[in-house]
């Protein structure tokens, strides 16, 4: 499973963990997260994330 890092605040989205507080279940792949999802830590959009590993 992959990880993606927010370029603005450093928050790391891990596919294995998801973001349940925003309705993104554990295991959700990055591509499947809705486009209007925002970084839970700072509020920026998916486009401000980079693939980490």
d(CA 37, CA 53): 20
DSSP bridge partners of 51? 4
Q: Which is nearer to other proteins, 7 or 16 (CB)?
A: 7
Q: Which is nearer to other proteins, 8 or 37 (CB)?
A: 8
**Site residues (vs other proteins, CB under 8 A):** 7-10, 21-22, 40-44
Q: Which is nearer to other proteins, 7 or 25 (CB)?
A: 7
CB of 30 to other proteins, least distance (A): 19
- Cα–Cα distance list, 2 to 27, 31, 48, 52 (Å): 10, 11, 16, 8
């Amino acid at each position: 499973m992959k990880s993606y890092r927010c370029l603005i605040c450093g928050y790391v989205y891990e596919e294995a963990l998801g973001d349940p507080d925003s309705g993104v279940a554990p295991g959700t792949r990055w591509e499947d997260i809705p486009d209007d999802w925002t970084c839970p830590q700072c509020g920026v959009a998916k486009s401000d994330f980079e693939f980490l590993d």
